[in-house]
Structures are given as C-alpha cells and as structure tokens.
Structure 1
C-alpha cells in the first residue's frame, strides 16, 4: 500500500525536501512524546472519525426521510384502494347535496335514499384525488384512521333524548331533513 506521502510526491504536490522535513518533525514529536510520557493525538485521524460520524448521522436522517415518504405514499395508495373498491354508485342523483371542502362549498347530486343515508351517518362522503365519492361508514372510519382530511362528511348519531334543563329551545324540534 502506498502511503499518503508517496502519493503526494507522485502527484507533484509535495517535493522530496518538504517530505523529508515533515518526516523528521514527526519523528521528533514521537521521540519527545515518549520521553515525557505524553499521548500523541493524531488530528487527522480525529478529524476523519468526526467526518465519518457526521456522514453516518446524515445518512440516518436521509433514510428516515425516505422511509417517511414511502409510508406516506403507501397510506395514500391504501386510501385510494379503499375508496375505489367500496364506492357507492350515485349516477341516478337528482338532489343536490351541499358540503364544504376546505373553505369552498361543493355540490354533489344524490338520490333521496343516499341523501337520508348521508344524513343518518350510514354512508360518508370522501375525497378521491380531485373528485368525491360515497362509501359506507365503516370504510370511512378506516380511511379516517389513515388520513382524517380525506373524509369530508361523516355524520354521527346524536341522541336527542338528553335535553338540558335550561334550554330555551327545548320545545322546538329540529327537522332531520334540513337543507341549506
């Protein structure tokens, strides 16, 4: 194996006189250290160890980021698969069902049966890429476990039996089919 000094000489970066002088200084340092009992610290080896440790840490961080991206893609693929396999046909829709997607109000046409199922929470409305689909409530729960923002409308059953004592509107019933 060719030493670093020989490689530098071969490349012409150091001349023979300079290399000889560096060798003499190194021998003097080693001899002095042995005489006084000091431990010689090779700074280049320490710097190489630090650089290696930093590289390992950077590689670990990059691997963690790649794994997080892969997990995110896998979850997105699972959501798309759940929606496409379990979507409910809504081609016969003539009733406009309005809902919010972020800050925008959107409209989806459904039939009367689907509308009542949406209101009662039997089915839910989810976002699929740029469109919207209807899925059963159990599937919407599975989708919400993976990404809560994909489920746009999932009504839950609220018990009307528990009425507060001082509620001024307790005598007035709210209709279930209220449209906005």
Structure 2
C-alpha cells in the first residue's frame, strides 16, 4: 500500500516538474485597435495637419496643447500620482474645450506578470485615468477604455527604464 502511494506521489511530482517550465503562449492574434486610432502604436505621423496648420480638435492639436498623452504608474499600481493628475488636468481642459471629441484611454503594463494579471492591471489603469477625467467634468460617455496589458510595449527591454515607460495609461484622440 505504501509503495503505491509513494509511486503516485513521485509520478505527480515528476508531472508537475515537467510542466512547471511551460509558459502560456501569447495569443496568435491581438484584438484590433479601437476604431479611429492607431492602437497605441506611435507611427510618427500626426494627423490633423491641413496646409501646414493644425486643425482644432484633431490628434495633432491634442498632442500640441496637452502636457502629455500618457501618465505613468508605479509597479503593480493604478493610483494616479501628482504628475499624472497634472497631465490629466491638461487633458481635461482640452477635452472640455473640444466637446465633440471622444477618446479612448488605453491601459498598459510592463512585461512582468501573467497575461491575465497585466490585462486586469491595464484595465484598472485606464479606468483610473477615465475616472479622474470624469471628476474634472469630462462626460464619461465621451471616453472608452481598453486594456492592452503587456501586449503593446512603448519601450522594448527587460530593465527598469523600459518597465517604467510601459506602466502607463494613454489618452488617444482619433485621427
């Protein structure tokens, strides 16, 4: 009796050891970016320029007039710090001056952690930014959120500098 229990325990331990190194595969295909956006990927081309001038209410106008289109977060956090509040205040001011513009707020995480954890964290970061903008008077129905988790890094690398840039929420104005 004891021999069979020991054998079962050894077999179970061996099976666990063999699967411990297995990582989950990345999805074969990412979901499409929100309509009218570049999906958080900086293409280096700002739209909204007409004849050398910037069209009010365009993405280029937004990027020119706000402090930044993104706020950064500490590790495993979705709390908006003082610098993030200042950035979101400038975004709220622009959004209030451009009431016909709706935005998508993208939540991102660094590469550490599971895909599921980072998608959840990205969602909490996007919602934190949305809720702050709403507290400043921006109607919630003009803002949508999406979480990209760790799937769309702003900076490549496995170091603190890259991770710090990837822990973010980005406000995207449609092209």
TM-score > 0.5 by shorter chain:
no
Q: TM-score, normalised by structure 2?
A: 0.30
Q: Which has the larger radius of gyration?
A: 1
Higher relative helix content = 1
TM-score calculated relative to the size of structure 1: 0.29
Could you say which structure has the greater relative contact order, defined with CA pairs below 8 angstroms and 6 or more residues apart? 2
